[in-house]
Structure 1
Amino acid sequence: MGSTDAPPRHDGLVVTAPAGRRAWTTTWLLLAFMLVNFADKAVLGLAGPQIMKEFGLSRQEFGTAQAAFFSLFSLSALGVSFLTRKVRTVVLLLVMGLLWSVAQLPMVWTAAGFGTLIATRVLLGLAEGPAAPVAVHHVHGWFEQRERTLPTAILMVGAAAGVAVAAPVLGAVITHFGWRWAFGAVGVAGFLWSVVWTVKGREGPLAPPVGRRADTADGVPGYPEVPLRSIFGTGTFVTAALGAFAAYWVMSAKLTWLPDYLQTVLGWDLKQASTAVGAAAVANGVVLLAHGLLARRTARRGTGGRLPAGAGAGLLLVAASAAVTVFATADALWIKIPMMFGPMALALVMITAAQTAIARITPPSQRGVVLGALVAVFAMGGIVSPLVLGRIVDSETSAAIGYRDGWLVTAALLLVTGLLAALFMRPEKDAQRLGVTESPAAGIAVSH
């Protein structure tokens, strides 16, 4: 590979910029960014049993605390994504990292109660809502279209790695120092990342211009913009958003309720539950990374396989639906527990596939906005999932029955959205219809 340290080269209507050392350095920094992001999310679920006991909360009330995190999540994801047209993403990412730390640290104070928990979760959600779309938009400024699936998957691996690292580490912190210091630990991690990003963070050579006309860059013609309503109305956007909503529902349900399920229903202690949650997160990361490597290999060979782009991710949602059903209904642990790993993790591929598909049908200058809209839709799963599952569990005669019904609702959602994505998620077809063309061998090509 060549180096991206030099500016991109303009060859007629094509801008070429092979991914090099600095591109991958940026990817690893954003991997750490996403790791901290999901450690922030995981801390509440890991500390959940202790928090419910100390504050005297029902599961439905605790679900409200988790949903509070997502109350402004979608709005900020969309609003800040519009700022990507006016403010450099390197600055937006730094501000988010600092706000995460500010939001976590108040819970270390022993007098901080349930009201403080709600307020800080709202602030944290406000700061973390734009994290994924802005990070993906930033990393796409370093890679050609055909190279983007792997770095996008690596960012999503940060979500899995965040939980994998956080589960045992924060479990140990909770055991030895109390649940409040778990919030302090992730707050310090966010501050340290911000310091490193201040030194190392840079904009990519393929990043669209900020504060200038969207259809020109340094005198070179660029992508003409497409009406947003046309992009949002495509089968690709609609089904990608629905499929990612279902995948995010699963992720949020596992973050919020899996530790409680393992301890309350299966009778495990905190150490066992934390280890299992961490191992499941590692499996999530393996699945996402394997998908990214496979997609990269396919793109470099110039072969797309037999299935249309997007159909494979939809079918993986269907497979995950079957795994969740087995997890919910099986009594034998040797059948139930393996479902937590690879099979249920297949759903998360849709989050990567949805973002790369949306990037394909969107001109670069509008990419941050459309990715933000995608996250605004699928992040609603983070609001609805904790509330719905918490209500289902509390309404049943036992936690075991309630969790079984809640997981079956999750399986049904995965099945329906997976079938829709398999049928209607067609990024190449929709990109051609919208007039968003791109050379398979270059970073940016334009149509007239």
Structure 2
Amino acid sequence: METRTAAARRAGPAGPPAGGRQAWTTTWLLLAFMLVNFADKAVLGLAGPEIMKEFGLSRQEFGMAQAAFFSLFSLSALAVSFLTRKVRTSVLLLAMGLLWSATQLPMLWGAAGFGTLIATRVLLGIAEGPSAPVAVHHVHGWFEQRERTLPTAILMVGAAAGVAVAAPTLGAVISHFGWRWAFGAAGIAGLLWAAVWAVKGKGGPLAPPVGREARAADAGSGAAEVPLRAVFLSGTFITAALGAFAAYWVMSAKLTWLPDYLRTVVGWDLGQAGAAVGGAAVANGVVLLAHGLLARRAALRGTGGRLPEGAGAGLLLVASAGAVTVFATADALWIKIPMMFGPMAIALVMITAAQTAIARITPPSQRGVVLGALVAVFALGGVVSPLVLGRIVDSAASATSGYENGWLVTAALLLITGMLAALFMRPERDARRLGVPEGPVTGVPVSH
């Protein structure tokens, strides 16, 4: 494995070394970026009962509002990811932070109704769709391939931390100031992040050049571009995307329906539900961080697991399917509630594993595009999950039986996709077949 000194030599005199202090500063800034991102997503679920009551909505109609967020999410993720070859990622990240903050603020207007809510959620989805692939692409410009799992996991921890912070904080805002100010608080937080990023955000020494130099840089480093069709049809991409789709389905279902489930079926109040959702989000973060630390430790030692790479993440989806089944069917709260704190959360490891696996099988100049395509596929879980679960609950004889059926559908999806990933997600094998070396030199240092 390349030493830190060698990495510094590769960075050259024009910029900081890969994996150094600036790399981790950037990682923490992007952790905050993802935190605000997922706080934005959590607002709707936390304010759901109040919104449904004020606007007279059924659960299926409310599910439309959450699905509206994801209606152009995937298309935006893919479109903006193509821009990573022409526009610096630091600029794209700043633009997204400003745009998604601006879309939250109209709900402060007292006359803003359900139509405004739908419109702003669509615009928010457009602004946030590319956030994960662009952030991951940006942070990968600061780290070597073998060291990328931990910073990628930290970015995904931002998703969990965003919900953990948002659940009690925005719950308190809703209780004291009304649900509209929850949207306003999320928008203000995004504007504050954008102000810091405008000053501190920089690109890494391993970031591929943008513009016409991107193709030449890969060719000069021995990492020539490969046909995108070959990447998309590989077993690794297909099963990673399906597994991440199932993991994102779970995350979206919990964001949208878990607060209502805990209040309607379990009988908790807003404070208890918010605390439980926040605690479950902390558990999500612990799981993701533990996975990243274990992966980093194995990479630094030059050792791997006993299972083929990719199989472990697939088996975690299978285990999560069992946890969701127990959560759905158990009557005793002492059995049901602990399932949220870890056992259900391990599905999210697939989102990190999928992104690092896809980065492995893709040349650097194409990485942003392929990560965008991955997000475009798995984010569809955010569109389908709220609608499907909302329809299942509304069509059942009671909310209790409807939610049980919805969680069991979720468990089946986790089981099937987990088995496929365990069998066919093999990034090292597919990288060799596609001719993508493990550690290509990715271009000259940049300071964007």
Q: State the TM-score, normalizing by the size of structure 2.
A: 0.95
Structure 1 Cα separation of the partners of residues 34 and 209 of structure 2: 25
Q: Deviations over 1:258-293 (max 9, x none)?
A: 000000001100000000000000000000000000
Q: CA deviation at 1:5?
A: 11
Q: Deviations over 1:120-151 (max 9, x none)?
A: 00000000000000000000000000000000
Q: CA deviation at 1:117?
A: 0.1
Structure 2 Cα separation of the partners of residues 7 and 117 of structure 1: 51
Q: Aligned partner of 2:383: which letter? A: I
SS class of match (1:343): coil
SS class of match (1:110): coil
Corresponding residue number in structure 2 for 1:121: 121
SS class of match (1:70): helix
Q: Is the 8 A contact 1:4 1:19 kept in 2?
A: no
Q: Is the 8 A contact 2:18 2:205 kept in 1?
A: no
Structure 2 Cα separation of the partners of residues 284 and 301 of structure 1: 26
Q: CA deviation at 1:6?
A: 6.5
Say whether 1:298 aligns with 2:293. Answer: no
Corresponding residue number in structure 1 for 2:55: 55
Q: Deviations over 1:357-404 (max 9, x none)?
A: 000000000000000000000000000000000000000010000000
Q: Please give the residue correspondences for 1:48-127 in structure 2 after superposition, counting only pairs within 5 Å.
A: 48-127=48-127
Structure 2 Cα separation of the partners of residues 180 and 97 of structure 1: 20
Q: Is the 8 A contact 1:7 1:205 kept in 2?
A: no
Q: CA deviation at 1:99?
A: 0.4
Q: Is the 8 A contact 1:105 1:183 kept in 2?
A: yes
Say whether 1:328 aligns with 2:328. Answer: yes
Instruction: Go from structure 1 to structure 2 and tell me whether the alpha carbon gap of 1:414 and 1:284 turns closer, same or farther (over 3 Å shift).
Output: same
Structure 1 Cα separation of the partners of residues 188 and 205 of structure 2: 31
Corresponding residue number in structure 2 for 1:379: 379
Instruction: Go from structure 1 to structure 2 and tell me whether the alpha carbon gap of 1:4 and 1:189 turns closer, same or farther (over 3 Å shift).
Output: farther
SS class of match (1:217): helix
Q: Aligned partner of 1:283: which letter? A: A
Q: Is the 8 A contact 2:221 2:442 kept in 1?
A: no
Q: CA deviation at 1:216?
A: 2.7
Corresponding residue number in structure 2 for 1:359: 359
Q: Aligned partner of 1:378: which letter? A: F
Structure 2 Cα separation of the partners of residues 421 and 444 of structure 1: 29
Q: CA deviation at 1:217?
A: 3.1
SS class of match (2:28): helix
- Segments of structure 2 that go 5 or more residues without pairing to the other structure are 444-448
SS class of match (1:342): coil
Corresponding residue number in structure 1 for 2:30: 30
Corresponding residue number in structure 2 for 1:145: 145
Q: CA deviation at 1:219?
A: 9.6
Q: CA deviation at 1:444?
A: 5.5
Structure 1 Cα separation of the partners of residues 180 and 433 of structure 2: 53
Instruction: Go from structure 1 to structure 2 and tell me whether the alpha carbon gap of 1:303 and 1:3 turns closer, same or farther (over 3 Å shift).
Output: closer
Q: CA deviation at 1:303?
A: 1.1
Structure 2 Cα separation of the partners of residues 355 and 188 of structure 1: 30
Q: Please give the residue correspondences for 1:179-190 in structure 2 after superposition, counting only pairs within 5 Å.
A: 179-190=179-190
Q: Deviations over 1:70-94 (max 9, x none)?
A: 0000000000000000000000000
Structure 1 Cα separation of the partners of residues 186 and 5 of structure 2: 34
Q: CA deviation at 1:223?
A: 1.5
SS class of match (2:71): coil
Structure 2 Cα separation of the partners of residues 39 and 123 of structure 1: 16
Structure 2 Cα separation of the partners of residues 332 and 395 of structure 1: 25
Out of 303-312 and 81-90, give the one that drifted further: 303-312
Q: Is the 8 A contact 1:214 1:222 kept in 2?
A: no
- Segments of structure 1 that go 5 or more residues without pairing to the other structure are 11-15
Q: Please give the residue correspondences for 1:204-215 in structure 2 after superposition, counting only pairs within 5 Å.
A: 204-215=204-215
Structure 2 Cα separation of the partners of residues 392 and 257 of structure 1: 12
Structure 2 Cα separation of the partners of residues 340 and 138 of structure 1: 31
Q: Is the 8 A contact 2:221 2:441 kept in 1?
A: no
Instruction: Go from structure 1 to structure 2 and tell me whether the alpha carbon gap of 1:9 and 1:101 turns closer, same or farther (over 3 Å shift).
Output: closer
SS class of match (1:230): helix
Say whether 1:39 aligns with 2:22. Answer: no
Say whether 1:154 aligns with 2:149. Answer: no
SS class of match (2:344): helix
Instruction: Go from structure 1 to structure 2 and tell me whether the alpha carbon gap of 1:18 and 1:338 turns closer, same or farther (over 3 Å shift).
Output: same
Q: Aligned partner of 1:178: which letter? A: G
Structure 2 Cα separation of the partners of residues 39 and 96 of structure 1: 15
Structure 1 Cα separation of the partners of residues 53 and 6 of structure 2: 53
Q: Deviations over 1:163-214 (max 9, x none)?
A: 0000000000000000000000000000000000000000100000100243
Structure 1 Cα separation of the partners of residues 381 and 438 of structure 2: 32
Corresponding residue number in structure 2 for 1:13: none
| Two-structure CA RMSD over aligned residues (Å) | 1.8
Structure 2 Cα separation of the partners of residues 147 and 336 of structure 1: 37
Corresponding residue number in structure 2 for 1:228: 228
Q: Aligned partner of 2:347: which letter? A: A
SS class of match (2:57): coil
Q: CA deviation at 1:102?
A: 0.8
Structure 1 Cα separation of the partners of residues 18 and 402 of structure 2: 52
Structure 2 Cα separation of the partners of residues 218 and 37 of structure 1: 32
Q: Is the 8 A contact 1:69 1:121 kept in 2?
A: yes
SS class of match (1:86): coil
Q: CA deviation at 1:304?
A: 1.2
Q: Aligned partner of 2:271: which letter? A: K
SS class of match (1:238): helix
Q: Please give the residue correspondences for 1:264-279 in structure 2 after superposition, counting only pairs within 5 Å.
A: 264-279=264-279
Instruction: Go from structure 1 to structure 2 and tell me whether the alpha carbon gap of 1:401 and 1:436 turns closer, same or farther (over 3 Å shift).
Output: same
Taking only the aligned residue pairs, the percentage that are identical comes to: 82
Q: CA deviation at 1:438?
A: 1.7
Q: CA deviation at 1:17?
A: 4.9
Q: CA deviation at 1:9?
A: 4.4
Corresponding residue number in structure 1 for 2:446: none
Q: CA deviation at 1:154?
A: 0.1
Q: Aligned partner of 2:272: which letter? A: Q
Structure 1 Cα separation of the partners of residues 409 and 328 of structure 2: 10
Corresponding residue number in structure 2 for 1:8: 10
Q: Aligned partner of 1:61: which letter? A: E
